[in-house]
A and B are shown apart, each in its own frame.
Chain A
Amino acid sequence: MSAPILQVRQLHAQYGATQVLHGIDFDVKPGGITTILGANGAGKTTTLRAVCGMLRVQGEVLLAGERIDGKPTETIVRRGVAHVPDGRGTFVHLSVEENLRLGAYTRRDKDQVAADFERMYSYFPRLRERRKQQAGTLSGGEQQMLAISRALMLRPRLLLLDEPSFGLAPKIVRELFDILGEINRAEGTSMLLVEQNASIALRVADQAYLLETGRVVISGSAEAIRNDEGVRRSYLGY
Chain B
Amino acid sequence: MDLLFHQILSGLATGGIYASVALALVMIYQATHLVNFAQGEIAMFATYLCWTLLQAGLPYWVAFFLTVIIAFIGGVLIERVIIRPVENAPVLSVVIVFIGLLVIFNSIAGWIYTYTIKPFPSPFPEKALFDNSFIGPHELGAICVTLIVLALVFAFFRLTPLGLAMRAAAQNPESSRLVGVRVGWMLALGWGLASAIGAIAGMMVAPIVYLEPNMMGGILLYAFAGALLGGIDNPWGAVVGGFLVGMIENVVGMYLGTELKLSVALVIIVTVLVLSPSGLFGRTHVARV
Contact surface of A with B, Cβ cutoff 8 Å: 52, 54, 72-74, 77-78, 82-83, 85, 89-94, 98, 101-103, 105-106, 134, 136-140, 150-151, 154
Does A92 lie within 8 Å of B287, measured CB to CB?
yes
Q: Is the CB of B179 within 8 A of A154?
A: yes
Count contacts between A and B, CB distance < 8 Å.
78
Please indicate the chain A residues that have their CB under 8 angstroms from the CB of B57 in the complex: none
Given the complex of chains A and B, what is the CA–CA distance between A105 and B177 in angstroms? 11
- Residue in contact with A85 in the complex, picked from B165, B174, B180, B287, CB distance below 8 Å: B174
Whether, in the assembled complex, B55 has its beta carbon less than 8 Å from a beta carbon of chain A, the answer is: no
B177 contacts A73, C-beta separation under 8 Å: yes
> Known contacts A94-B168, A94-B171, A139-B288: does B177 contact A102 (CB below 8 Å)?
no
Chain B residues positioned under 8 Å from A101 (CB to CB): 161, 164
B interface residues (Cβ-Cβ under 8 A, vs A): 161, 164-165, 167-168, 171-172, 174-183, 283, 285-288
Q: Which B residues are CB-close (under 8 A) to A139?
A: 288
Q: Is the CB of B288 within 8 A of A150?
A: no
Query: 24 A-B residue contacts at CB 8 Å?
Result: A74-B181, A74-B183, A77-B178, A77-B179, A89-B175, A89-B178, A90-B172, A91-B172, A91-B175, A93-B283, A94-B167, A98-B168, A101-B161, A101-B164, A102-B165, A102-B168, A102-B176, A102-B181, A106-B179, A136-B285, A137-B287, A151-B178, A154-B179, A154-B180
A66 to chain B, nearest CB (A): 17
- Least CB distance from A72 to B in Å reads 8
- Closest residue of chain B to A83 (Cβ to Cβ) is B178
Which of A54, A140, A150 interacts with B179 by CB under 8 Å?
Answer: A150
B165, closest chain A residue (CB): A105
Asked whether, in the complex, the Cβ of A54 is within 8 Å of the Cβ of B285, the reply is: no
A residues near B167, Cβ cutoff 8 Å: 93-94
Note all chain B residues with C-beta closer than 8 A to A92.
171-172, 285, 287
Q: How far is the CB of B208 from chain A (nearest CB, A)?
A: 36
CB B93 to nearest CB in A, in angstroms, measures 22
Chain B residues in 8 Å Cβ range of A151: 178
Complex Cα gap A98–B176 (Å):
12
Instruction: Given A74-B182, A78-B180, decide whether A138 and B172 contact each other with a Cβ distance below 8 A.
Output: no
In the bound complex, CA of A137 to CA of B288 (Å): 6
State whether A89 touches B174 (Cβ < 8 A): yes
Closest to A92 in B: B287
Q: Which residues of A contact B286 (CB under 8 A)?
A: 134, 136-137
Which residues from B are CB-within-8-Å of A78? 180
Which 8 interchain pairs have the tightest Cβ spacing? A89-B175, A106-B180, A77-B180, A73-B177, A136-B287, A102-B179, A83-B178, A105-B179
Determine whether the beta carbon of B288 is less than 8 Å from that of A85: no
Contacts of B172 in A (CB 8 A): 89-92
- Provide the residues of chain A in CB contact with B288, threshold 8 Å: 136-140
- A149, chain B: closest CB distance, angstroms: 12
- A-chain residues with CB within 8 Å of residue B283 when the two chains form the complex: 93
- Asked if A103 contacts B287 (CB within 8 A), the reply is no
Given A74-B183, A94-B168; 17 other pairs, CB 8 A cutoff: A54-B174, A54-B177, A77-B177, A82-B179, A85-B175, A85-B178, A91-B171, A92-B171, A94-B171, A101-B161, A101-B164, A102-B168, A102-B179, A103-B179, A105-B164, A140-B288, A150-B179
The reply to whether A93 and B180 contact each other, CB–CB distance below 8 Å, is no
Q: Which residues of B contact A74 (CB under 8 A)?
A: 177, 180-183
Separation in Å of the A167 CB from the closest CB of chain B?
10
Q: Which single residue of chain A is at the shortest CB-CB distance from B233?
A: A93
Contact A52/B178 with A94-B167, A94-B171, A137-B286 known, Cβ cut-off 8 Å:
yes
Alpha-carbon distance A52/B285, docked complex (angstroms): 30
In the bound complex, CA of A170 to CA of B112 (Å): 70
Residue from A105, A134, A136, A138 in contact with B180 in the complex, judged by beta carbons closer than 8 Å = A105
- B176 close to A93 (CB less than 8 A): no
B277 nearest CB across to chain A (Å) = 16
- In the complex, the answer to whether B171 meets A105 with C-beta atoms within 8 Å is no
- CB-CB < 8 A to B171: which residues of A? 91-94
Q: Least Cβ distance of B139 to chain A in Å? A: 35
List, in ascending order, chain A residues with CB within 8 A of B179's CB. 77, 82, 102-103, 105-106, 150, 154
Q: Distance in Å from the Cβ of A144 to the closest Cβ of chain B?
A: 13
